């Protein structure tokens, strides 16, 4: 992993992004301590969330008994919520 100070990152951002595009992570430091990291963006088509799977998961969950008449604060006090 390549390391660059904040000043170096500001001065050479294009070059650092070239490193990231070629698969290398870049650690950004301030006064020698890590403060951030540049990493390549993954293919968004692979990270798309499957809403159908979420709906199926939610539908399969058992229903909790409704606590009608209780406020949110009361449910929190009773450790229901």
Residue 58 counted as domain residue: no
d(CA 10, CA 70): 55
Measured in residues, the chain has a length of: 81
**Domain containing 8 — which CATH number?**
3.40.1620.10
Residue 66 counted as domain residue: no
d(CA 80, CA 5): 49
Bridging pattern class, strands 26-30 and 2-5: parallel
pLDDT > 90? residue 19: yes
pLDDT at residue 38, rounded to an integer? 96
Residue 13 counted as domain residue: yes
9 three-class SS: helix
Split at pLDDT 50, 70, 90, the class of 50 is confident
Residue 27 sits in which domain range?
Answer: 2-38
50 is written with which tokens?
């499957």
């Amino acid at each position: 992993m390549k390391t660059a100070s904040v000043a170096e990152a500001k001065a050479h951002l294009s070059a650092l992004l070239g490193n990231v595009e070629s698969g290398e992570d870049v650690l950004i430091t301030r006064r020698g301590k890590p403060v951030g990291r540049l990493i390549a963006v993954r293919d968004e088509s692979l990270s798309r969330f499957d809403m159908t799977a979420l709906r199926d998961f939610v539908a399969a969950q058992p229903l909790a008994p409704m606590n009608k008449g209780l406020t949110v604060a009361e449910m929190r006090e009773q450790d229901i919520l």
